[in-house]
Structures are given as structure tokens and as C-alpha cells.
Amino acid sequence: MASEEELFASVDALLNEEPHLPPPAERARLREAAGITQARLATALKTTTQSVKNWENGRSEPKSPRLDAYQRLLNGWAAKYPAPGAVSAAAPVPAASSETAASEVKTADAPQAPTVPATGPARPATPSAAASRRPASKKAAQPAADPRFPHGPLAVLDGDGSAYGVDGIVLDCPATSVVELVEWTLRESGLGAPRLHRNGKDSDPLIVLTAAAAVKLGLPERLEGHEQRRSLRLPEDHPVVKQVVKAKWRLTQRGFGPWARIYRKVQGRERQCVQLAVLSWDALDERSWPGVSEMEPADVARVLGIYAQRVITPRGSTAVSGLELMTALRPPTRAVQDPQTGNWVPGHNPGSLGTEPMDPAPPEATAEHPVVVNSGWSGGFLNEEAYQWVRPVDLLTDDECVLPFAVGLDLNTAFLAAAARLVVGLSEPDHFRAPAFNPKIPGSWLVDLSHVEVDPRLPSPFTPDGTRPTGPAWYQTHTVAYAQELGYNVQPLEGYLRRETGAYLDPWHDRLKTAYVDTLADLGVTRDLSDAKFLAAMERHKDAAPAMAAVLAAIKATVKGGIGKLRERPQGKKYKEGERWPALQRPTWRPDIRAAVISKARINMHRKLRNMATMTGLYPLAVLSDCVVYPSPGDSPLDFLPYAASGKPQPGGFRLGPTPGLAKLEGVQSMLWAVDLMEQGHNPARHIKGGDAVLDEGE
């Protein structure tokens, strides 16, 4: 038997060991919960952003004394932001309290798992009027990280009053009108989600209505008549709209449409706002949410719940949610102390876009923008768009034409990859004559790049259609910097540049990248797969779990739509050029940021095309946005991508993998098929998958 001295020595040895950090994924979760970027954490710990990335993906560990400081920080965050499902002794989550007693908590007949199963649970039978809705053996809701929202961010309401929440929760909703539904949601449902940034706002609860629930609440099953379908909203004299107004609730300018936001002015610190979505009014677009509107209510709740957990509680289309996510992660204001009164008041949050809209420089605007129309601007515009290029058929060689296959590669969320560590302007543009070019200053530059020589078998990096520039034109900083990278001198004639800069999109990129990679992993596509196994997993991933595949589609649509919303154009036949349209009232109407993302994505594509030509001697047949088609001796990317003798991919070219910026197989056709399309003036990249691809212009 060990002596006391031996036991004490063993315990002392344990105490003297280096502290154990939580798993890498938990480190990233805690940092994101605290609203801290990797760059800011790196500054605090006197290290590099890449080191923080390595700590959070498990590639390396910090050393003392940095390890001790990091451990202390993570422990503090863990106390403030416990993991979902963790029970805190300081703030235990109550079971059905008196506040929510009126809303019975049931569980659907499905596993209580955070991932979405391929098939949904059986829906509970509608009880008779005399029967109690309380199940025989009631189970309390799953513990939540925030006791204010014990039942999660959202619920899907069916016609029988069952409100299906996340993790299999089913609530009883007694509401028979929209007004009653709003008041029940705010007072009794326990729905909502905590803010994504410490200076931000909590997410409003979302109630999704099935067709049966909509009819029960007095809404039409579908928007009827030409006017309702055209405007996508109920008329102001509709009985439900009148009820809402009579009860002193308000609707936003969008009115009562597929996504309706009903609110009252904030009272104290409590927001009074509920978001409604009507499934039968096409609230969930089929392209962004494939198959979801046809799912059972419980499955709809799971799909939307996972999206809410990983991205944000949906607030409209995926484009709207993508834009709202930017603001949620970079709130425009923070609390600052007034030096005269000592009171805490809203002040500007550094790194954000602020609270006031900002007019773009004339070349960054659209032709109908007041800045252009009122000034009579005729100096040209930025043309930073995605590639839409086909190689001239007469530049195909005999060796290429005898290859049997045309293979399409698609870059994963190319716009998201371009948003990483992208420095953009945060202040108003200043005009300069003949400025010296500086690749670190974001802005728009008038410069002549017609002298830059590029192999004619490659598209020009400076134009979306791949043609060579013919004279001075406006370009975004990344485009001009690439001309310097190619070894050419650039002498701007003019510039609209911004003095205050920052990586505004960094937290947006980090959150969406994590959501994308985690969702692919849930579908069986993980980072540790070999290239051959990755291709096999991607081929079957959508069939493995259609509901999770829908979450993945929504995440991708959030990226594209969010970037597009930065330059939302006016809508409606009544619009006249020079008038200000509603989107211009947002601080997030920033066409210059959109141009920066697309410019960087296009330059990233060209850099890979050029490196591929150097390493393999292969040249693309066509490019469409983030899809490129190559002639190939085999029907797989493995037959032409460059690999080292060790079997590892050569750096600089296209690489296969599940993370943003890496490639996957888009489709395979015969080389004869591709040449035939090219001769007809069509883009093989648009059809390589077997259908018509959508050009990702970020609109």
C-alpha cells in the first residue's frame, strides 16, 4: 500500500503539470461566444493570428507563459458562456415555470439530437376537444445555455396548436389570432436566442406557420390576386393587418408578407418583436432551402434550428439573413460613458459600419444612384464581377481535342474564401489625383492595365469576360495589386480611397466557414479524408441526409446572398433613376465591399489557373464564376490535378477538400460535348453538371 508521502508526491506532480486546455472546437466556440476575433485574441496574447488558428484547429498548442494566460481566458469565457446542454450551478435552467405553465412542453417521437435525421418523427394525433393536450409522461425541455430562452430560437406552428421547437420539444400554443400568437410568443413561449456579440442584440423569436396554422389564424393559405402576388404582402385593409394595428402592434415597411416582423417600441431593455414566416407563401425559397417546405413541421424546426445555431435565426431570405449576420457580429454601437454626465450612452463601435448610411464614390455606384444622376458622372464604373469566359475554339490544340473528357471543378464558397482577412474601407471615400498605388489601401483606382500581357489561353484577370483591357478603367485594390504581382508597373490616374480600414467581414467569414465545414462533416465529408475518399463522399453526401443537405444549401445561399445585398438594386416599375430606394438607408449598402470580395475571388481563381498551367501544362476550356472546366485524360480530377512524388497536392494549384476555397467535382462530360458547346458560343461550365448553372454574381 502506498505511503502518504508517495501519494502527496504524485498529487504534487499532477499539480505541476501544464494546464489542460479544452478541445480545439470548444476554444473556437468560446471565442465566438465572446464576440472576439482571432486577430484580436492574437493581439491580446502577443502572438499571431495563424497561431490562434492552429490552436483552434488542433494543429499546435501554446507554450507557457502564454498557455497559462490562454487557460485563464478560456476558463473565464466558459463561466460566462457555458456550452449548450451544460447545467450551470449559478443559473440552473428551470423546468416549466409559472411563466410557461400555460404552454405545455411535450417531446416529439424522435431522438433528442442536435443533428437532423433523414426522416422525421411521427406527428402527434390531434386531440379531441375534451382531451388534455398534456402527454402521459411529460419531459422537461432540454437545458439551454441561456435561461431566458429555454425552448430555443424558433418554433414551427401547425394547425392543431402544436408548436414544434428544436431538440424535439413540442409546445402547446393556444393562440387563435396573430395578435394572440405574438403575445404568447413573447410572454410564454420561452423562445429566442442570445446575441452573437456582446454589443449586439438578442435574436427575436421566429414562428414559422404551416398552411393549416395560417388558415387557423385568419390568413389566406396562399397570397391571392394579382396585387398580393406582385407585392408579396397582404393589403392594408386585410382583417389580420387591421387586428395587428388595432392592438397597437406595428409592421415593418415590408408589410405582412412571407416574412413579417411584428413589433412595438422597445420598453426598457426588453425588445418586443416577433418574426413570422409563412411556409405556404414561399417563405423558404426552394433553391436556398431545397425540400424543406414539404417536410413535416418537426423536421422543418430541426433544419431551421440547426441553421439558427450555426449561423443566425432566419430573419427573411438567406440573403437578408446573410446581411443581418454581418451586423449581428459587428454591431454598429457599443456602450460608452459620457464624460460630462457619467451616463452610459450608445457610441460608435470601432470596426463596424456605424449607424448612418454612406454614399459610395461615383465609380462604385450603380448608374441609377443619386450620386451618379445628380452629379452627371460619366467617368465610368467599377466592373468587378465574377468570371464568365470561354476560350476561343481556335486556341484549342490537337492534343487537347483528342483528350476524352471535360472535367469541371467547383470552388467551395469562393466568395466566403475571398472574405477572409479582407481589409475594406470603413470611412467615406476621398478623391485623389494621380495617387501612388498602395496595395494596403482599399478603394477604387483609375488605371490603364492594357499593357499587361497574359497567355491568350487564359482569361484576363482584369475583366469578367476575360478580354484584355483597352485603356484606363476603374479597378478595386486587389485587381491592381495583382498587376503588380505579375511584375508590371501601375500608375493610377485617379483614386477614391478610404482612410479608415478594417477586416469588417472577418467574424462573418469565421462563423460561416465553421458552419459550412461542420455541416459537411455531419454529411460524412470530413477534412481527414483522402482525395479519392473525399470525391466519393461528395458524390453521395446529399443522399445521406437530405435535411442536413438543405442546411448546407442554405449556408451557401447565405454567403452569396449576403454579398449580393451589399449592392441591392431598386425594384418595381415605378422607380425613377436618381431616386433613393430603401436599401440606400442601410449602412450595409456598400457596393465597394461587394466589389472587393468579388475582385479577390476572381484574382484567386486566375492565380490558380496560372499556377496550374505552369505545373501541368493544362489550360481551362471555360470559367463561370467559381467553376472551371479542364480537358482531362480521365473522368476524375485525380487524373489531371498536380501531386508531388509524396502524393501530396502541389501548393498553388487547385486542391480537393471540404473547406472554403478548395475544390470539388462539379461534373464530367465528353470533350466532344464541350467543344461542340464552345463552337455554338455556349459556356461548358454552365452545363457541365447536366443542367443550367446560375452565375454567382453576388446579387
Classify residue 406 by burial, with Cβ atoms within 10 Å: 0-12, 13-18, 19+: buried
Which one, of 550, 565, 16, 677, lies nearest residue 289 by Cα?
Answer: 550
Parallel/antiparallel/unpaired status of strands 162-164 and 154-157 = antiparallel
Question: What cell numbers appear for 169 in the block?
Answer: 420539444
> Model-level pTM?
0.80
Side-chain half-sphere of 65: how many Cα atoms within 13 Å?
1
Asked whether 296 and 120 are in contact (CB, 8 A), the reply is yes
pLDDT score at 117: 40
How many residues comprise the chain? Answer: 699
| Alpha carbons 601 and 478: distance in angstroms, whole number | 9
Chain centroid, CA 633 distance in Å: 37
pLDDT score at 230: 58
Cis peptide before 65, with omega less than 30 degrees from 0? yes
Locus of grid cell 501531386: 643
pLDDT score at 490: 96
The segments of the chain whose pLDDT lies below 50 read 11, 14-18, 87-104, 109-144, 694, 699
Residue 463 CB coordination number (10 Å): 21
Q: What is the dihedral of CA 80, 86, 88, 89, to 10 degrees?
A: -150
Question: What cell numbers appear for 78 in the block?
Answer: 466558459
Side-chain half-sphere of 365: how many Cα atoms within 13 Å?
25
Which residues sit opposite 259 in a β-bridge? 277
